[in-house]
Amino acid sequence: MSHITLIRHGQANSDARDEASYDRLSTLGRKQAAWLGAYLRDSDNRHVRLYTGTLQRHGETAEGMETGLDVHQDARLNELEYFTLATLLEEQHGVPFPVGQEAFIHHLPQVFDYWKTGRFEGPPESYENFETRVQDVLREIAGGDGPALVVTSGGLISMAMAQAMGVGIPAMSRLALAIMHTSMHRLYPIGGHWAPVLFNAVPHLDRPDRREAQTHI
């Protein structure tokens, strides 16, 4: 099995309240992607494969990184539909959409908990399906030849890390909230299981003139 480096997409439209409006990189998001690509080239990271979800922000991030690798798209690498689930939480349970980062910190675990326990009517997919598709696609990628880069989203990365560590919703939520744009997260296969050996690394942003580019939202 080959190791996988998961990458969260660059900053998207942080003012969005629905899936379609969110799905494009901001000007800063494009810069973050370019800086990450330059770092990977300068540090001679030897990834030989590149995968993305089918979302626009995934493709724009991969393009901006300029890795020179062929891009393999897979819809199983797409993000959970947070905005859709947040709308269901408001319409069906009276929990308002969060305004500001503090509210979002408390809102995300609620979304995950209501989703996992089946308290939404008509969600875009079940929590169980999300779990399964993450496991399946990463297992298939790991079965290929050589280290792989995977450009995806924060929710999927938090699920992959939670599965690797065997933790539940509260810890998974904290992982998701911590993940920065264009951060790197590495999974190594050890003893037939995933071992997280890198989390939330942003060496391309860790310099005085780019500290403000270390964004979460």
pLDDT at 84: 95
Q: Model pTM?
A: 0.95
CB–CB of 75/53 below 8 Å?
yes
Domains of the chain: 4-80+125-205 (3.40.50.1240)
- DSSP 8-state assignment for residue 181: T
Mean pLDDT of the chain: 95
47-94 pLDDT, tens digit per residue, is 999 999 999 999 999 999 999 999 999 999 999 999 999 999 999 999
Bridge pairing between strands 49-52 and 71-73: parallel
Which pLDDT does position 18 carry in this prediction? Answer: 82
Question: Average pLDDT for residues 161-189, to the nearest whole number?
Answer: 96
